[in-house]
Structure 1
Amino acid sequence: MSIESLVSDDLLQGIRSRAAGYDADNSFFTEDLAELAEAGYLRMLVPAEFGGPGLGLASVAREQTRLATAAPATALAVNMHLVWTGVARLLHDRGDHSLDFVLREAAEGEVFAFGNSEAGNDQVLFDSTTRAEPQPGGAYRFFGQKIFTSLSPAWTRLGIFGRDDSEPGSPVLVHGFLAREATGYRILDDWNTLGMRATQSRTTVLEGAEVAADRIVRRLPVGPNGDPFIFAMFANFEILIAAVYAGIGERALELAVQAAHRRTSMKNDGRTYAADPDIRWKVAEAAIAQDGLYPQVEALARDVDSGADHGAEWFPRLVGLKVRATENARFVVDQALRVAGGSSMSATSELGRLYRDVLAGMFHPSDGESAHSTVANAWLGPLS
């Protein structure tokens, strides 16, 4: 157990032991979440003044990598809560107290989730298909459909946003937090996916759900903008996503090594595959790829913690990290499957589950197309 870890080896092993069952049953990780909450895991980023341990993003990224080696879906879903606390922490550290209530409520046990993703919205945070209608006193009612709402069975606070067109010619994007006890929304029981099944990232239908005025945190122009709130979301989301997929790669490499030492070869007089030059090459390839990822996650997370100013380079670096991490994990898992052989096709194979889970990395923002556009604009300038 690392010095700052809030998860004992025994707790981690318990989480590992349940992962296959959650996947097979397509069920939510209820026991994992309860044990992690009890250990203080959901408060990691909460500063001491609010009742948390006040770990930095670099430490939390390491913890998420470790958790993902045991249960990728659990780590991915918990990420959503940690991202919101990370956003609030980053703003707080920079003198913006607009999300301090997130830190206070997280310390009290509230569970935060993301309700931002929308089918067909490739503008991500820069536009929305959800309608936000202003109400007297500053509240808003939201109408739309959010997909991939991880933590659906357990969240108590849902971050959502929508577009307010009430002022002609001046549309704004309204961000706020919906309370579980609110009315005007439905959670569909529609999560039956290839991988990351325990996240239970169900669809949330907003049918006039009202967010109170004191939980509306931003009204921003449609389109890209430099508000620290947007940067904080991108930074925490991309780095913590990368950390989870680093964990998937790490576990796949461990399983490949175990398989190489376990499998024997008739053509090599019963020696294990660990002595086969081709297998050794595949394991080495995976290890080289995996080893290069850790310092990238660590460096960007530390830069967030220290308040480093990368200016316009921040977004290319963040999306580049996310793409490298998810694609690297797919490569490592693929190599591990080749080393382990056909047994990985079994429905009970952990490597087979990792193969299914790792595919989700393609779909998290920023996807490959969006990331390459961001990086191309940084190096070549925007298209005229």
Structure 2
Amino acid sequence: MDLDARSLERVPNSGSAEYARPAAHKRSGKWIPKDPWAKAAVIWATVQLLIIVLLEAIVLKKHADNNDQLKLALGQDKNAIANASALTIYHALFMVAQVFQWVLAADAVHTYSMIEMVSTTLFNCALFAYAGMQYKQAKDIADGISRSPNFEATTGLLNAHPASTMEIIIVCAMGFFVVGWIVLSQRLYRVFGWSIFKELGADISVRNRLKLYHIYLMLLKLDVFFFIGFDVQYLILVILSGNSGGSPNEKWIHGFGAIPFTLVLLVIAYMAVRRESKILMTATLLGLSGGIGYLISKLVDVLRKGDQPKYSGSKNSLTFFEAITLGMCVATFIFALLTFRNFGKGLKEQLSKSRRGDLEMDNMQRGRQGRQKDTPRYTLE
């Protein structure tokens, strides 16, 4: 049987005569691993998901109740209502982000990927900053509404920002979880040991190509959240808000152009590297170039015209989110180009061989376990 070199590295399997590859050289096979630090990472991500989503749901409920009262009292002030309603998008996006961080953490542990674990930590740092941005955005909107003439007499409200305390708690909680992710990343570095780079032996050039390959795939995973998140925010908060003042066709161009284009581009980008297709990767680079130009134009527009009604209630959040999305797009373009240069240098064949070796080894181990289970056991009496 033609197994790759990694299968020759054998270690005793639970004291038996059987041998298996070191756990760090293969997928864990389970979403909850046996290693205590890896298990702690999954538990930490789950606890964060439950706590933050619960707190954010409370904020969303308080905000929705407050909006209902504002709509009754400030029915003529459409701009103020639009600003307050914009916060609902931030809350929903923040809850989706918590689910996304759990998926990243679970997949990092499942694949023993230190790249993905570091990305999970950085993603949570971004969520921490976004939580602070969310509080600042809500405070600015509430202050603007509170300054309107006869606010208290008109609305019957003493405070236009009743969820402020809960939002501060979320910011503090996210800071606490970020510290935990930093500690877990340091501990898991010893567990994973950058094992993903050891898949193809000791050849430095092959390892470097493999490193670029995995970083590129990791960027594509993050792009799914940031690209779609920006498209949805811009569509709802700017184009469909009624304050855009732009062309009537803009919502059709963005809604039926930018979002479908983003989804198709990400699929093509993934297929290009898996198949080492020069045509698909060229299309990916062209698409990313267009995306970079589009994001730059929108970012300049927000910075130059941030005080106009079209960006009311969304300037700070859009600027923050758009800057990160632009950075992700540029990084994806760079690593796509670097990966493109490695096409035809044997990485695809090596990865196929690696996957076949994993499958054969798993089949061998299952066969051994089955034979051990079916073998009758005799005892001397």
State whether TM-score is above 0.5.
Answer: no
Which is strand-richer, 1 or 2? 1
Report the structure number with the largest CA radius of gyration. Answer: 2
